[in-house]
Amino acid sequence: MELSELNLVDTKKKELLVFLNEVSESIAFLSNDNGIKSHLKPEKETFHTTSTAFCLYYLSTASISFDNRKPLTYISKEVNKLIEKHYPQLLENFSSNHKDRIETEVGVLPNNYNTPIQICGALISYQKLKKTDGLIEYKEQIKSLLFGEEGIAKGLLSDGFISRIGHQSIPSAYHTYWVLQSVILYDEVFGDDHSKMYRNTVYKWLTDTIAKQISYSYSSLPQLFDVIEASYLTLSYLLIFSNDSSHDINISYADSKKMVEHLFKLIFDNHFQNGVFSKSLPVFSNSKNYSVSCPTIEPIALLIAKGPFLFLEYGDLLDNIFKWINENKISTNKANSYCWRSEWEHFSSKPSSFMSTCAITFLLSYRSYLESKLSSEAAKALGVTPLTKNSFIDAYKYPGSLGKIVSELIVAPIKEGNKNLAHYSMVLYGPPGTSKTTISKKISQDLDWPLLIINSSYFIRFGFDKIDSEAEKVFRLLSYLKNTVVLFDEVEELVLNRDGQHMVSDKDSRMLTTSMLPRINDLRNIEKIVFLFATNHIGSIDGAIRRSGRFDFIQCVLPPTKSERKLILKELCVKYKLPNIIQELLIEDYISNTERFCYSDLKDLVKKITLKYFNSKIKLDEGELVLRSIEDKSHGVISEIELGKFKKAKKEFDRG
């Protein structure tokens, strides 16, 4: 994708953020005393409970990965307020309605519609809030409703599907999705392991049913293709393969993924126009003429959140849905607050919380999709490769106090979801060979994020007079990345002191450094990537760059200590298969002779000893071999004078 195309996607994202700002009060409106209930038919409390659970499930699904940028900060707070407000009442109504076996429009509780939606709303709200208040006491009740003798999940285990309400022999992909999601959320919240066998039986039914849906489109029976059912077949598939669970199922993920992508293509190629799906059958109906039809954005909002890869070729169609939502918003009596009705309802019909929540969820999920697309395309342009695990890096120990800093300030907050507390940038400086690149690889592996190394070639490939324009392009692409570790390796020319003599003219140097200040600041504020600036010359970097706010901490990486050298040498000796006698000599007897050796020096030393030991025609005494190798290598390590300069710089510059 060219930069111009990335700019187009970025423009769409900005337009969407503007629209989110315009409708930001909609969630607050839903969460006030009259919000959810005022848009529902004033019938039984069960219906209100199901509606509340539905809203909480959808908004929680879309808002798991909120960042801290406006207007999303406001919306995120409103989502949390809505969940906190209605969650206790949801649990109370959920319990009493099922205990009293309340009769609803779709049958006596528990039933295949109200019960799984209410369970999903309760469990996902718990995950969102990370609160145990009130939920644990309902564990046995929820377990019985799902897995008991008359549990709603019974059909999943026996047939692989849940039947349409009132039609026991007809499968319903819609109801199957909700019950399967209940089972999976139950396991995630309570730490049980029911879902493995359920995933297997549902998968067998899914593959047969998806094959039938595909065949309908290529036969003379296209009227049997139900676009909503096909959408929920896809959603159930995404549930089965969520959280790396596919290893529990005896299937080929690649083959089944192709089949689902083909079904998805049929959905959009043949059953989508003007921002909505073609009309499908109600997801259920009864003899009293009560029925529920599913609007387009109900499954689409979840599909974007749970399977953004499906939409890689359908960005324009998502734009059409966005356009439909924008054109069909209904103003409330409050500024920046809108609600929606289904595309199949008459314009005189009241809007519903179901439809309004789906619209908001779509907008939030669409924004995540656009950001993912920007990130993936920017990663391609920059040459980011997927993370490859390395056992040596896994075993590597951070030098000195750096391990505690990285673990507590970077890795733990990010992996625990407290990204607003995490640190995202650092300067590493020290003698050449002190593992600055290895430290970056270790952070990358600890976070399970890919690593991108940027050196001077990124900026000077078109000459020094083009450095600034290339820097602008590179930093623009970096701003699109997410979940990536970036190492700026020896690129001091970008941020030199504005009062020194440099490779480029003083005037150009000052201008370049000045232009880099806001770029580094903006990259830090995005809080989507961790970036490191590695240099051997901390004193040549402009003081403004080193200030807090651009880099969270600055650390000098000195040659490893005696204990650190012992660990490094032990690992290297094992790696190069040196005999025990040489290992003991190197690690115990002559360890003090390697005092100023950096990591790269130690690695080079062990490689040379290995070559001499295994390949030399004249076999030296092991002790003489080790000592002579150390003496030969000592001439190339950092001098005592240079090391003293770095120790002095450490006292002056280290921060964090």
Measured CA distances, 306 to 77, 259, 345, 458 (Å): 22, 17, 27, 35
d(CA 549, CA 556): 19
Short-list 179, 216, 217, CA closest to 199? 179
Which of 436, 413, 435, 438 is CA-nearest to residue 424?
A: 413
Following CA atoms 78, 79, 84, 88 in sequence, which dihedral angle do they give, to the nearest 10 degrees? 130
Q: How far apart are CA 634 and CA 595, in angstroms?
A: 10
Is the pLDDT score of 297 beyond 90?
A: yes
Q: How confident is the model at residue 71 (pLDDT cuts 50, 70, 90)?
A: very low
Per-residue pLDDT band for 394 (boundaries 50, 70, 90) equals confident
pLDDT level of residue 607 (50, 70, 90 thresholds): very high
Q: Yes or no: say if 436 and 646 are a contact pair by the CB < 8 Å rule.
A: no
Spatial CB neighbours of 230, under 8 Å, sequence gap ≥ 6: 173, 210, 213, 263, 266, 267, 271
Higher pLDDT, 610 or 655: 610
Predicted pLDDT at 65: 45
Query: Please, are residues 481 and 382 in contact by the beta-carbon 8 Å criterion?
Result: yes
Which tens digit of pLDDT belongs to each residue from 106-160? 788 888 999 999 999 989 888 877 665 567 888 899 999 999 988 999 999 889 9
Quick one: pLDDT at residue 152?
A: 93
Lowest mean pLDDT among 42-56, 529-543, 603-617: 42-56
The CA distance from 598 to 560, in Å, is 6
Instruction: Of 67-81, 182-196, 284-298, 581-595, give the lowest mean pLDDT range.
Output: 67-81
What is the band of 418 on the pLDDT scale with cuts at 50, 70, 90? confident
Please report the pLDDT score of residue 287 as a whole number. 67
Q: Which residue has the tokens 């050796």?
A: 597
Please report which helix (H) or strand (E) contains residue 52, including its range: helix 45-62
pLDDT of residue 316: 87
Tens-place pLDDT, residues 202-219: 998 999 999 999 998 888
What pLDDT is stored for residue 504 in this prediction?
47
- Residue appearing with tokens 């676009």: 227
Q: What are phi and psi of 83, to 5 degrees?
A: -65, -45
Work out the pLDDT band at 167, boundaries 50, 70, 90: confident
Which one has a higher pLDDT value, 553 or 492? 553
Share of the chain above pLDDT 70, in %: 88
Please give the pLDDT value at position 17: 83
Average pLDDT of the residues of the chain: 83
| Per-residue tokens: 30 | 């839903």
Instruction: Select the more confidently predicted residue: 449 or 636.
Output: 449
pLDDT computed for residue 301 by the predictor: 92
Highest mean predicted confidence (pLDDT) among 10-19, 52-61, 639-648:
639-648
Torsion of the alpha carbons at 222, 223, 225 and 231, rounded to the nearest 10 = 130
pLDDT at 47: 65
More confident residue, 280 or 1: 280
Higher pLDDT, 196 or 299: 299
- Bridge partners for 103 per DSSP: 108
- In which band, very low, low, confident or very high, does the pLDDT at 610 lie, cut at 50, 70 and 90? very high
Residue 46 binned pLDDT confidence (cut-offs 50, 70, 90): low
Q: Taking 70 as the threshold, does the pLDDT of residue 497 lie above it?
A: no
CA angle 23, 28, 29 (to 5 degrees): 85
Instruction: Of 229-233, 245-249, 326-330, give the lowest mean pLDDT range.
Output: 245-249
> Can you give the pLDDT at residue 251?
56
